[in-house]
Amino acid sequence: MRSTRVFPVAAVLVVVLSACSGDPSPDRTTTTSATNRTPGATQGAEGRYESAQGIVDALNQAGFTVSEPQKNDGASYVTEVGGAGYEFTVTDSAEHAAPDSAGINMFPNAEALRVWTEISKGFGGIAVTGHTWAVSLPTGSEAARSASRRLAPKIAKVLDGTVQQ
């Protein structure tokens, strides 16, 4: 029999809301281009990424405008299960400004990701998931939600991930 761990609703709400809304601070708006980056640890097989930087590098190389990931050390479901969360901005072209900050969540295992995915869907989140990672896109406004719906399939294609909404 498998035991189920119940997490405090406040912690779950914090992680979902922090990934779905927010105004990027000035230090998170620096973008990078594929021409001046050296790829970090990138994809192995079947959407497996070892780091948030690997995800950023893959998106960058595919032509997205991406900011450097900033580690989010706040208490959340992700950190409770031993994972790590990062904030960044992502858009598919210079003509489309990033609507809000997005998140990259690196989970210790697929089960922790599965639980997070269900929580995110329950709150109306839009994300792209892979083996043990999730790119959580902003949904704090209708403009952000619309941009996230447009971006999610493009991000999933680049990262070999699955759109979750």
- The sign of the dihedral angle between the CA atoms of 112, 150, 99, 49 is positive
pLDDT at 48: 81
pLDDT at 1: 40
pLDDT at 47: 65
> Percent of the chain beyond pLDDT 90?
63
Low-confidence ranges of the chain (pLDDT < 70): 1-47, 94
Instruction: Please state at what angle helix 52-61 crosses helix 142-159, rounded to 10 degrees.
Output: 90
pTM for the full model? 0.73
pLDDT at 97: 78
pLDDT at 94: 67
Q: Distances in Å between the alpha carbon of 165 and those of 4, 117, 123?
A: 23, 9, 9
